[in-house]
């Protein structure tokens, strides 16, 4: 079983179209069992109602959620609690517009040998179309990650497309203390700290499609990520991110 977790926050405009698109692709291309888990992160619009309608019309869609809003990281962690299959893949809702869905198949293939697999916009074979402001902020963020954590050696830690072997993911989430944007970096820090196998795969990434939307507030969230790095650094020094000795690595 492969669980595709999609965190949702105020996505009523694109939810139905994109989930139908993702489901059609998975149904046509996957031989394995799968489900799409829609994790409602305290949305204030009609996202929950639309998600529940999709759950009724599409047998392989399941809805979980809570209120109030707690962040993308928490939404993914919350959904993962009820996942027991082989793999967990999380992607942002706009994934069908930003990236070729065929990259999902590459990720699944890589997960057979690696406990963590992440898409990357910064590998030689990656093709990206980004807004100038987001490109600048992303570059600054990656430089800070290299400064704070030079040993992590991951080119695109905040990408909204990551896959995990489920057993490893659940162990990581037991140690995770971040709920919002810093969660993306934190899970990779925990994985690297505990010597899990991490692989990056190139993706094509297009932000310049019609009606591109994002819940990212660049300046507010950039500050949250910077302060998150400081907290992660502190947690590392305190030993909060180490697996217990009685936990067997996969």
Predicted confidence at residue 209, as pLDDT, reads 55
What pTM does this model have? 0.89
Predicted confidence at residue 212, as pLDDT, reads 47
Predicted confidence at residue 96, as pLDDT, reads 81
Torsion angle of the four alpha carbons 106, 107, 108, 112, in this order, in degrees rounded to the nearest 10: 100
Phi, psi (deg, nearest 5) at residue 242: -100, 130
Tokens 């179309």: give the residue. Answer: 129
Those residues of the chain that have pLDDT short of 50 are: 212, 215, 246, 248-250
Predicted confidence at residue 250, as pLDDT, reads 46
Cα separation values, 72 from 10, 96, 194, Å:
12, 18, 23
Q: According to CATH, what is the number of the domain 2-237?
A: 3.90.550.10
- From CA 16, how far away is CA 54, in angstroms rounded? 7
Predicted confidence at residue 219, as pLDDT, reads 58
Predicted confidence at residue 138, as pLDDT, reads 76
Predicted confidence at residue 217, as pLDDT, reads 56
Residue pair 18/96 in contact (Cβ under 8 Å)? The answer is: yes
HSE (CB half, 13 Å, CA atoms) of 123? 17
């Amino acid at each position: 079983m492969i669980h595709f977790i999609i965190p949702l926050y105020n996505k009523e405009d694109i939810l139905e179209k994109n989930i139908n698109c993702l489901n059609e692709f998975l149904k046509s291309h996957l031989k394995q069992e799968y489900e799409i888990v829609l994790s409602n992160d305290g949305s204030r619009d009609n996202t929950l109602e639309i998600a529940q309608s999709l759950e009724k019309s599409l047998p392989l869609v399941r809805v979980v959620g809570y209120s109030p809003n707690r962040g993308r990281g928490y939404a993914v962690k919350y959904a993962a609690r009820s996942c027991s299959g082989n793999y967990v893949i999380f992607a942002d809702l706009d994934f069908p517009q930003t990236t070729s869905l065929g990259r999902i198949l590459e990720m699944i293939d890589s997960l057979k040998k690696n406990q963590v697999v992440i898409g990357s916009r910064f590998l030689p074979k990656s093709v990206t179309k980004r807004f100038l402001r987001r490109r600048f902020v992303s570059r600054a963020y990656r430089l800070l990650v290299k400064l704070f954590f030079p040993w992590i050696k991951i080119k695109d830690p905040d990408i909204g497309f990551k896959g995990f072997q489920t057993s490893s993911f659940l162990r990581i989430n037991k140690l995770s203390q971040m709920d919002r944007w810093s969660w993306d970096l934190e899970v990779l820090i925990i994985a690297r700290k505990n010597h899990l196998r991490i692989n990056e795969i190139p993706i094509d990434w297009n932000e310049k499609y019609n009606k591109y939307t994002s819940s990212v507030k660049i300046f507010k969230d950039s500050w949250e990520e910077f302060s998150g790095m400081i907290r992660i650094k502190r947690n590392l020094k305190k030993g909060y991110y180490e697996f217990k000795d009685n936990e067997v690595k996969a």
